[in-house]
Amino acid sequence: MRMRMKRTIIALFAAVSVATLAVAPINAEAAGKKKSVSVKKSNKKVHKVIAAKRAPRVRHHMALDDATSLSVQSASALVIDQTSGSVLYEKNAQAVLPIASITKLMTAMVTLDAQPGMDEVLAIGEEDVDTLKGTRSRLTVGTRISREELLKLALMSSENRAASALSRHYAGGRPAFVAAMNKKAQTLGLTETRFEDPTGLTAANVSSARDLARMVEAAHRYPLIRQFTTTSESEVQVSGRTQTFRNTNQLVKSPSWDIGLSKTGYINEAGKCLVMQAWFNNKPTVIVLLDSWGKLTRIGDANRIKRWVESAALPSTATPG
């Protein structure tokens, strides 16, 4: 009896041991998984902390590349940081369009490149009268005026007869002058720009916003162009009378604008155009607006661009935390 009970106890003990051994690895595996998951979670937290310490802190107020907040009505537009050359905003910037009197920036550069006598007195002739669009002018035929004054009136008041006279008194005459305009465009890398006259009255004078941004930068290198395009008004002696000529861009006299260069343009085929170099947030910025309609659309676009750029700070320089 005792022997049977002993055998029974031994058998029970063995069964319990086997069961324990069978369960132990399973529990150990489960425990290992829990421990592994816990370690992974812990490692992720550590990695996040390390990454946060290593990553530079960059503060964003409003990204300039987020153009959803900017509404530009002009058909073609381009805004460029002149210092870095980075595009801040663009809309159909590759479209080749008539540029009207924006042409006169090239007219001014070609005139000044020839280094003529700026005090030389030139005469307005019948050849300078606009027979294409029939535009009017206070520079009557026979008016004698210095080359410098003609350049000022062409740039400030967009005087077509002034631009025409400048080209006509170029060595080789107007054909040579227009050829020099196109050669200058090639030199500047303006591949989408062509000129057929010095005034912009013809729709055959075309360019793109991208090309015009380069042309504005080139024109900005000429002190007289900067001066004359930003003069709000000037008194000029015309046929013995003092006459006041005003800038075609009303923004040049606004105290809220710091403009380094400006030029407007308009013919029916081109719509209203405006190019400027202006300072926003202490940075030089180039603005090109083409094919605007409505009396104040281009001015409205320019003001909207100004507010957008000034209220949008670029990310600060990243520094280790």
Give every CB contact of residue 89 below 8 A, 6+ residues apart in sequence. Answer: 64, 67, 70, 72, 77, 78, 79, 305, 308
The token pair at 256 is 């809220």
Residues in the chain: 321
Contact yes or no for 298/273 (Cβ under 8 A)? yes
pTM here?
0.78
274 versus 12: which is more confidently predicted?
274
Contact yes or no for 214/188 (Cβ under 8 A)? yes
Question: Which SS3 state, helix, strand or coil, does residue 10 take?
Answer: helix
Q: Does the pLDDT at position 58 exceed 60?
A: no
Cα 25–chain centre separation = 70
Active site residues: 101, 104, 158
Per-residue pLDDT band for 129 (boundaries 50, 70, 90) equals: very high
d(CA 104, CA 265): 9
**What are 54's strand-pairing partners?**
none
Q: Which residue in this structure is represented by tokens 């075609």?
A: 248
Q: Does the pLDDT at position 281 exceed 70?
A: yes
Mean pLDDT of 174-191: 98
Q: Let me know the angle formed at the C-alpha of 101 by 95 and 103, rounded to the nearest 5 degrees.
A: 70
Mean pLDDT of 175-186: 98
Mean pLDDT (the chain) is 83
User: What domains appear along the chain, each with residue ranges and CATH number?
Assistant: 67-311 (3.40.710.10)
At residue 68, the pLDDT reads 62
d(CA 49, CA 59): 19
Q: Which of 192, 10, 146, 183 is nearest to 154 (CA)?
A: 146
Per-residue pLDDT band for 312 (boundaries 50, 70, 90) equals: confident
Sign of CA dihedral 141, 145, 151, 156: negative
